[in-house]
Chain A
Amino acid sequence: MILLIQYTLVFTSVLMLVALGGCFSEHSGVINIGLEGIMVFGALGGALVMSAMPAGTSAFIIIVLSILAAMVMGILYSLLLAVAAINFKADQTLVGTAMNLLGTAAATVIVKALNTSVNPNNPSSTLQYINAKKAFLLVDGYEFNWFMPLALCLLVLAYVILYKTRFGLRLMSCGEHPQAAASVGINVYKMRYAGVMISGLLGGLGGLVYITAGVSEWKFENGVAGFGFLALAVMIFGGWKPFRIALAALLFGFFRALSNVYTGFDLLAQLNLPSTVYNMLPYIISLVVLVFFSKNSAAPKAEGIPYDQGSR
């Protein structure tokens, strides 16, 4: 049972962080399909820092540096989307898809190149960070880590920024009616850049949380197994609102965790279902959820439409 709670909380924090990232981007008017790629790059940044840390580095430094690295990598990678979608008015779905493919391919190339430069006979795409990972744990022996309180703080922060600050309200106006926003002097381009970069920050952090969930090495060839897309479903289910996103993430996180630990429950083990059923569950549930919540979509009205100052 405690195992289930642990994993539920880990996966919930991942999904919530990434979905909140998507939420900022979409409220500014840019669809961010590329969250998956952003997660991979954030994970890469964090993993590189963690594996480079010499043994005996204090836990605090490891935590701060790897989180910073993940966030910075996420932001840098998200600029690929920002430049293409905001300045060059590219098809946002196409660019996002390209970013997902590029994320896994580039991370694999980078890690393999690093591994082979250390040892030519080791062309694997795996990074190890056994010691550094322990720094994140709150209690020895359990998977409760510092990311959980951090994610909670960021959730509250995201709500406050979006609904209680001038910046957040302006950001959302750019996703609803950019022409109206521009008419009162808001720089739509800047706001959309801000939205995409915040999604890069949160997505990158989410990637780091994901690769430290119960494992202490990561094979970058595998990417992040569709978590970026699950986060998008969480965001839609959450109606683009932070606290509802958190609840949606909890639900999805629970089912995702179940697929990891179902063998520990007598009742579920007795059902004797193949493990693939549990692997499929999160995706099936998100599909069903979308069927019921997409009809009256609360999506920002101008999302996906490139903003052109000339056309009003």
Chain B
Amino acid sequence: MQKNSLLRKPAVQALLTSLLCILLGLLVGFIALLIINPSGATEAIGDIIKNFMNYSKSATRLKNMGNTLVKTAPLLMCSLSVLFAYKVGLFNIGAAGQYVAGAGACIFCAVGLGWHWLPCMLMSILAGALVGAISGVLKAYRNVNEVISCIMLNWISLYLVNTLLSNVKNPTSPYTYEISKRLVTVDGVSSVETHTEALLPQLGINSLFNNNKYVGLAIPLAILLAVSIWVLLNKTKLGYELRATGLNKHAAKYCGMQDRANIILTMAIAGGLAGIGASMLYLTGFEEWSVTQSSVPGMGFNGIAAAFLGGLNPLGAIFSSFFIQHITDGGAQLNKQVYPAEISSLISSLIIYFCGFVLFFKLSLTKWLDKRNEKAAAKGGADK
């Protein structure tokens, strides 16, 4: 009976079903590897799961772990963006576009205008929130399905950002100048000068990861924000109202809650979260933006995977984001002459697919427990 009630706890059920989704995703990924080349499949799936643990030297290991963490921070923000909106009954598939808007804002402010990192980050939040709020306004006042409007905005943001960032493009490559550079135009002649103010501070955390220069403020900040979102949703009046609107819009309105304002506010917050996520990556200088890219970066979509895998809990999202990023980087460890690196996006998209079955898994678990209890009760009755 003791163990039985533990299995009925929602948190335990959420954890179990997430683990089941991961296992199923890995299993199908393993089958795909087996089909491509059976002899190396076991090793390959091991390489994906191990990621940075593949390196034998602990210094390289730490450095690569740092790289995974650098990309986990923006992913966590995107997953927070998705789950925050989902709690209010909105499916924010636009996290990808809001992330793109944030990236455009911080890179332009840093390289083009030579700002300090803090205002750059604030501009990222603003840009993301603006894109999110557009979807919110359309939903609240014109009944436009947020999924469709978000998707359209993803593409619009991508092309706008490509146009904006062409202004700070390195003429010798399709990429923008590094974030540690600043574009200066004197009498119509452009040149770049070093400008490290826009880089996020490292706060000494980098020394923990074999002086990986990209590791810094973003990681603790992301975790702090995850905790604040948890507090906001579960411990404040605003969070209560938002969740009530998500559960039943009409009931919430009847109780005097501003359903329209809440929808817009939600989408703005969700957009801001995805926007700040972009600044957490691009202000480290980890990578530059390619102004010729013709597909929306996958970060926002992986955020959907991380949000659902984390059981739609901000604290769960911390772990699920790390896991998703971990196997995504793990895919790059594969031998490209045999296995495509996209195996890891295959696995993460399968995990999202299986997350659709979570309700079914939970119901079956509860049903199974009920049946066992009944049997035990019947047996107990017979013994008497």
Contact = CB atoms under 8 A, between A and B. Distances in A.
B274 interface: no
B138 A291 contact: yes
Interface string B153-168: 1111001101100100
A101 B355 contact: no
B338 A116 contact: yes
B336 interface: yes
Identify which of B138, B147, B305 gathers the most chain A CB atoms within 10 Å of its CB.
B147
Q: Is the interface of B mostly helix, strand, loop or mixed?
A: helix
The binding surface of chain A is classed by DSSP as helix
B143 interface: yes
Interface string A81-115: 00010001111011101110110111011001100
B294, B301, B346, B360 pick with most chain A CB within 10 angstroms: B346
Given A90-B356, A233-B152, A112 B342 contact: yes
Given A113-B36, A225-B294, A88 B356 contact: yes
A282 to B, nearest CB: 9
Contacts of A102: 346, 349-350, 352-353
Contact of B148 (A104, A108, A232): A232
Q: How large is the interface on A (under 10, 10 to 19, 20 to 34, 35 or more residues)?
A: 35 or more
A130 interface: no
Contacts, number: 149
Contact of B349 (A84, A101, A116): A101
B56 interface: no
Interface in A208-242: 221-223, 225-226, 229, 232-233, 236
Contacts of B343: 109
Contact of A290 (B148, B154, B163, B359): B148
A109 B163 contact: no
B346 A80 contact: no
B41 to A, nearest CB: 12
A268 interface: no
Interface in B329-384: 336-340, 342-343, 345-346, 348-350, 352-353, 355-357, 359-360
Interface string B127-163: 0000000000010001111011101111110011011
B295 interface: yes
28 contacts: A33-B147, A88-B360, A90-B356, A93-B93, A94-B355, A97-B91, A97-B301, A97-B352, A98-B355, A102-B346, A226-B151, A226-B154, A229-B152, A236-B145, A236-B148, A276-B162, A279-B159, A287-B153, A290-B138, A290-B142, A290-B144, A290-B152, A291-B144, A294-B138, A294-B143, A294-B144, A294-B145, A295-B142
Given A93-B93, A109-B340, 11 more contacts: A97-B91, A101-B345, A112-B340, A123-B340, A226-B154, A229-B151, A274-B163, A280-B160, A290-B145, A292-B142, A294-B143
